[in-house]
Amino acid sequence: MAKEGQPVIFLDHASTTPVDAMIREEIARLMALPMNASSDHVPGQQARALLEESRAETAAILAVSPGEIVFLSSATEANNLALRGIAEVWRRQGRRLRVLTSDLEHSCIRETTADLASRGLADVFAMPVTPGGRAQLPETSDGVDLLCLMAAQNETGVLQDLAGATRLRRAGGGLWLCDVTQFFGAAPVRIADLGADLVSMSSHKVYGPPGVGLLAGPGVKRLLPMITGGPQEGDLRAGTQPVALIRGFAMALRQAEDRREARNQHLRNLESVFLRRLADLGVAHEVNGGAADARLPGFLSLRIPGLDGADAVVALDGRGFAVSSGAACATGVMEASPALRAMFPGDEARAGGAVRITPGAATTVADMLALADSLAELGRRVSTK
Ligand code: PLP
């Protein structure tokens, strides 16, 4: 592990992004104020005004009405509210929710749908996954109550078939929950055009503060709450709102809109410089998900034959690089994630070889070149073993 104080080159922006300096300052200023948006005195009214201003700005960015936005703690909570909130409505009608999803979805969707199924509240059907990392939508979604199709996959950055899902939804299929957590930084999300019923996202992936996320779209009107005990967020999420964090989230969304093109260009350039260096150094490698235009800009899930993903993460950490692998510890053994296993069924070495490299706004060309050099060194070691 890199020692405390040792400079770290952070290339794991898909896991979280540092909070933008201007946003940090604004949050710190607001944190000094007493802000309970449910209070009737003047400070409470001021907090409420700031909260509703943030909601209106967010609604304009996402092309929904302010009443169709629920602020909560994270994308994980947003997806839980969506899935459990709909399943509860169905349960009260004596029905099991029929969910169409895939192994590509984030664990907060996979595990929540599995939990609903285990309690007899849902029947879960899985879409096939292509080796390129896309979920294959069916021709029709007749008989499906809820489609879970994310916008961009969080381990490979692969863009999913949003146009196909929009078509299915317009053709009268069931509700559509679209997790745009990784996607929003790279592309705009206009819910009215997308046609999704529910969209989930998180502030800490777009240079906003951690601890705040949202669920938005016309589908929020069809949910039952999972957290009760107060009237906040249209009775859908009880608990005093963290107004300063929500303000920071709205600012981050605005910045993402304004800086998107420049950020994307920067990330594309870093990706091509890095891949060129690897090629110049003669490092055999594959990018999971394939060509750059099939993925989020700069989002690389890399495989160097012979190199295990989890081992590479540890070795790179020791050299001062923070990256991640697609593996997680399952019952004491490192296992490739369901998403990578679905892309490469039966090929554990391929699935377990992924190293996820996600540069960000402050990453430099020198950072990427240094990483390529370190990977070349690791690659040489495994090839001479
Ligand atoms: N959905 C996707 C696609 C993600 O990438 C993540 C986080 O990595 C989440 C949901 C969960 O986000 P949060 O950390 O806000 O719970």
Spatial distance between the Cα atoms of 126 and 35, rounded to a whole number of angstroms: 44
Q: In the predicted model, is pLDDT for residue 177 greater than 80?
A: yes
Q: With pLDDT > 90 as the criterion, what percentage of the chain qualifies?
A: 91
**Residue 110 near ligand 1, beta carbon < 6 Å:** no
Residue 93 is classified by DSSP as T
> How confident is the model over 308-337, as a mean pLDDT?
85
**Residue 75 near ligand 1, beta carbon < 6 Å:** yes
> How confident is the model over 91-112, as a mean pLDDT?
98
Map out the domains of the chain as residue ranges: 9-19+259-383, 21-258
Q: In the predicted model, is pLDDT for residue 333 greater than 70?
A: no
Which helix (H) or strand (E) segment is 87 a member of? helix 75-92
Q: Which of 202, 212, 296 to mutate to test the pocket of ligand 1 (most atoms within 8 A of CB)?
A: 202
From the list 353, 329, 331, 357, the residue with the least C-alpha distance to 340 is 353
Q: Which atom of ligand 1 is nearest to the CA of 15?
A: 8
φ, ψ of residue 329 to 5 degrees: the values are -80, 115
Return the structure tokens found at 158.
């692969």
Q: Pairing state of beta strands 327-330 and 333-336?
A: antiparallel
Distance 382 CA to ligand 1 centre (A): 33
Q: Which CATH architecture has domain 9-19+259-383?
A: Alpha-Beta Complex (3.90)
Distance 379 CA to ligand 1 centre (A): 31
What would you report as the CA-atom Rg of the chain, rounded to the nearest whole angstrom?
A: 21
- The pLDDT assigned to 360 comes to 98
Q: Do residues 248 and 254 lie in contact, with contact meaning Cβ atoms separated by under 8 Å? A: no
CA-angle at 209, arms to 206 and 214, nearest 5°: 70
pLDDT band of residue 94 (cuts 50, 70, 90) is very high
- The pLDDT assigned to 340 comes to 94
Catalytic (active-site) positions = 329
Distance 279 CA to ligand 1 centre (A): 32
Amino acid letter at 223? L
Q: In the predicted model, is pLDDT for residue 2 greater than 60?
A: no
Q: 21-258 adopts what CATH topology?
A: Aspartate Aminotransferase; domain 2 (3.40.640)
Ligand 1 atom 8, closest CA: 15
CA-angle at 116, arms to 101 and 152, nearest 5°: 30
Helix ranges restricted to H, 93-218: 107-118, 162-170, 191-194
- The pLDDT assigned to 331 comes to 60
**Residue 108 near ligand 1, beta carbon < 6 Å:** yes
Distance 106 CA to ligand 1 centre (A): 7
- The pLDDT assigned to 25 comes to 98
**Residue 181 near ligand 1, beta carbon < 6 Å:** yes
Distance 202 CA to ligand 1 centre (A): 7
Ligand 1 atom 5, closest CA: 154
Residue-level length of the chain: 385
Q: Which of 101, 107, 205, 337 to mutate to test the pocket of ligand 1 (most atoms within 8 A of CB)?
A: 205
pLDDT band of residue 173 (cuts 50, 70, 90) is confident
Q: In the predicted model, is pLDDT for residue 277 greater than 80?
A: yes
The residue behind tokens 């009215």 is 192
Please give the biggest Cα pair distance in the chain: 71
Q: For residue range 210-263, list pLDDT tens digits in order.
A: 999 999 999 999 999 999 999 999 999 999 999 999 999 999 999 999 999 999
Q: Which atom of ligand 1 is nearest to the CA of 154?
A: 5
Spatial distance between the Cα atoms of 362 and 215, rounded to a whole number of angstroms: 28
From the list 321, 317, 306, the residue with the least C-alpha distance to 381 is 306
Amino acid letter at 234? G
From the list 315, 305, 292, 297, the residue with the least C-alpha distance to 374 is 315
Burial of 32 (0-12, 13-18, 19+ CB in 10 A): exposed
From the list 201, 217, 206, the residue with the least C-alpha distance to 169 is 217
Alpha-carbon separation of residue 323 from 180, 184, 309, 377 (angstroms) = 22, 21, 10, 16
- The pLDDT assigned to 66 comes to 98
The angle that helices 309-318 and 365-383 make with each other, rounded to 10 degrees, is 120
- The pLDDT assigned to 172 comes to 84
Spatial distance between the Cα atoms of 26 and 28, rounded to a whole number of angstroms: 5
Q: In the predicted model, is pLDDT for residue 335 greater than 90?
A: no
- The pLDDT assigned to 385 comes to 64
**Residue 48 near ligand 1, beta carbon < 6 Å:** no
Q: Which of 83, 106, 112 to mutate to test the pocket of ligand 1 (most atoms within 8 A of CB)?
A: 106
